[in-house]
Amino acid sequence: MSAKPAAGGGRWVDVAPERLTRWLENFATRHGPWTAAGLIVTAEDGATAELSPPPGAPPVEDLAALQREAAVARRIGLLLARKGAVAVGVAEGTKLIVSKVDTHYVQGRTAAGGWSQQRFARRRDNQAKAAAADGAGIAARLLLPEVRTLTALVTGGDRTAVETILATPNLRPLAPLISDRFLDVPEPRKTVLEDATAAARTIQILIQDPTPDQSAPSHK
């Protein structure tokens, strides 16, 4: 379980629902006994952990409800895209039910200038558009028939590539399902999609470490 820096301070960690109890025990070991107010846990040394339900889960008010809802095997859609690669799937809980991965060649950038640069840019743009069109076609075939059963659509990879695919008019029914969760993944492959299935159901936790004043022992 790796931590990622959070904008504005602190760090994010992702915890699988079945590991949450153990994670909270470890949090107490590191920072001291904690108390909870809603989904915010505050430890004895001043460290805090703010928990967020996984995609597709309804809003909850306390840790017990969060654990119950996070453990439900929800049906979610997955759309990963980066450059000329796209991976689309439907997962139920930890199981990937249906999936499709496709790749297109899209030329990298060049330092050349002049007319040849313009021709290169047009070719690259056309390749990217073709890749996005094929990605949209795959998303339509796999996700639209399931739109009424999905609780969320989790995306990842390159935001521009994902947004280009989802801007396709016939994919509008997916818009209400798009989760705020955006996965940082490498070029989509089948194994990357399988890993994303697990990542999409995790509980995100924002950890704020205590300030030196909070963690220092008091002397009376």
Write out the DSSP string of the chain: ---EE-TTSSEEEEE-GGGHHHHHHHHHHHH--EEEETTEEEETTS-EEEEEPPTTPPP-SSHHHHHHHHTS--EEEEEEEETTEEEEEEEETTEEEEEEEEE----------HHHHHHHHHHHHHHHHHHHHHHHHHHHHHHGGGTTT-SEEEEEE-HHHHHHHHTSGGGGGGGGGEEEEEE--SS--HHHHHHHHHHTTPEEEEEEPPPHHHHSPP--
pLDDT one-digit tens code per residue, 98-119: 999 998 644 455 555 554 666 6
Mean pLDDT, rounded, for 181-194: 95
Specify the pLDDT at position 219. Answer: 44
Specify the pLDDT at position 84. Answer: 78
Specify the pLDDT at position 180. Answer: 95
Specify the pLDDT at position 83. Answer: 81
Using pLDDT thresholds of 50, 70 and 90, give the confidence band for residue 130: low
Nearest Cα neighbor of 50 from 64, 59, 37 is 37
Specify the pLDDT at position 220. Answer: 43
Mean pLDDT, rounded, for 186-204: 95
Q: Is the pLDDT reported for residue 143 higher than 90?
A: yes
Return the percentage of the chain with pLDDT > 70, whole number.
Answer: 83
Q: Please state the pTM of the whole predicted model.
A: 0.85
Mean pLDDT, rounded, for 57-82: 96
Using pLDDT thresholds of 50, 70 and 90, give the confidence band for residue 214: low
Please give the structure tokens belonging to residue 36: 């909870």
Q: Is the pLDDT reported for residue 169 higher than 90?
A: yes
Specify the pLDDT at position 198. Answer: 95
Using pLDDT thresholds of 50, 70 and 90, give the confidence band for residue 69: very high
CATH of 75-199, one of 3.90.79.10, 3.50.50.60, 3.40.605.10, 3.30.420.60: 3.30.420.60
Q: How far, in Å, CA of 26 to CA of 120, rounded?
A: 54
Using pLDDT thresholds of 50, 70 and 90, give the confidence band for residue 123: low
What are the extents of the domains in the chain? 4-72+203-215, 75-199
DSSP secondary structure code for residue 200 in this structure: T
